[in-house]
Amino acid sequence: MCAENEQECSGREECVQHDPDKRNHCYVVWIQNNTTKETTIKLKGCFLDNTDCYGKPFCVENNMERKNDYFFCCCDSTMCNQNFSWVPQPTIKSTEPSVIHELEPMPNAKQQAITLALLIAIPILLTISLFSFWWLYRRRKLGYFNEIPTLEPVPLPQPSPNLGLRPIQLLEIKARGRFGAVWKAQFKNEIVAVKVFPIQDKQSWQTEQEIFKLAHMDHEDILHFIGVEKRGDNLQAEFWLITAYHEKGSLCDYLKANIVTWPEMCRIAESMARGLMHLHEEIPANKADGYKPAVAHRDFKSKNVLLKADMSACIADFGLALIFHPGKPCGDTHGQVGTRRYMAPEVLEGAINFTRDSFLRIDMYACGLVLWELASRCTVQNGPIGEYRLPFEDEVGLHPTLEDMQESVVHKKERPLILETWRKHPGLSSICDTMEECWDHDAEARLSASCVVERVATLGRALVLNSTTLIRVDNTNEIITTKESSM
């Protein structure tokens, strides 16, 4: 990430190998002032697999002429983009067939004119092709690497006429995901979150706003929606989704660095399940709002559950969500979507019944895995609290293939390990029963979101420790111990 007029990027980035068949490279994009010859770096970082970069130990640009004063080079060794240079060399591609023919001698003047024309035309064509290739891959590499190059905030182009331009300043990237990057941003006197979708993920941006704009979606356990915008045009177009900002971030990231108390766990689990219940619920129209159809999330996981300041949860990321309009088919032709480690057995098998209830049960399977993540980091377990682990991390590792998940979940019917130390606490033991009923192999046997809400709410309000003592947890997470004459 290179600020304007800064001579070199100060940070370092480690190129992550996501695909064994593809290679990583380093790259630099810079401009040079034709008058002062001053060089300004615009981008530095990891580049996608590109045969043009193979075997290049140094970052050198060889093209003769540039378009808009931009230069680009890539290389194939560690830290090779720390230094870069422009060594122009004329490149001429032969347009003749491979068979050799004898040509009649050409007059020198004519030959010189053709050579000069080729020297001018070929670099221009190569420059256009190179920048088109670079921009497309810059946008498309999200699909392979779940990351995008990050730029300092720059003056923004005009939006399309049908969308209003808000005075938003992007401050810092907080997360990267399948469909783009989430920025912490300043909107007037308010801090907001801006999810930036590249042009090829416009459909996900449209799906998200369609979900947020449904009636009755302004709910405390659903991420608060502010608006959408389109920025830029053509290949440089970006689509913005503006929502409330929550400093604690996702439940997944929070659990990596923190443990949770029993009241906190109950508060998170209850609000998370209530958000899922509201999403799944079909709500008839009333005087204030219209009809809300049932919605399946289809990518429910701890990364898509955000924590508010009061430790309640809200659900986010509806890019894969499916709306079930009454009397209409769901219209989905590909059911095997979502995050592999959270996929239900029927999704991994490709054996989904394309009905509303089938998709809602898929969400509940994933809900059981998130409850397991919460339980694994709860302080009431009777034993040491281990490091945070993703569901099935012990069984399939950090980067499972579809085949890995099919073998573990479908064929072996494995589930994340529930420790005996969890069962020694009556409340946590009940949570374990709940998660097991959520991830049941038989989809029809799984609990509904409303049932999970009811169970966790009951646990949060009253946990029987013995025959005479009752612990009650009020809405502020304060613990009140009372004596009961009998239970």
Domain boundaries, the chain: 24-86, 167-245, 248-469
For β-strands 294-296 and 25-32, DSSP reports them as: unpaired
Kindly report the average pLDDT of the chain as a whole number: 81
CATH no., domain 24-86: 2.10.60.10
- Rounded (10°) CA dihedral 79, 80, 83, 85: -160
Which tokens belong to 278? 């509201």
112 phi and psi angles, rounded to 5 deg: -65, -40
Instruction: List the alpha helices (DSSP H) in 24-79.
Output: none
CATH no., domain 167-245: 3.30.200.20
**Among the options 221, 299, 317, 363, which is catalytic?**
299
Work out the pLDDT band at 149, boundaries 50, 70, 90.
Answer: very low
pLDDT at position 15 is 80
pLDDT at position 480 is 45
Based on the residue annotation, tell me whether 253 is a catalytic residue of this protein: no
Work out the pLDDT band at 110, boundaries 50, 70, 90.
Answer: low
**Mean pLDDT calculated for residue range 320-345:** 83
Indicate whether 321 pLDDT > 80: yes
pLDDT at position 288 is 83
Which residues, 6 or more positions from 236, have their beta carbon under 8 angstroms from its beta carbon?
135, 157, 199
Q: pLDDT, tens digit, for every residue of 345-374?
A: 999 998 888 889 999 999 999 999 999 999
Q: What percent of the chain has pLDDT over 90?
A: 49
Give me the architecture of the 248-469 domain, per CATH: Orthogonal Bundle (1.10)
Indicate whether 6 pLDDT > 80: no
Q: pLDDT, tens digit, for every residue of 402-450?
A: 999 999 999 999 999 999 999 999 999 999 999 999 999 999 999 999 9
The structure's pTM equals 0.63
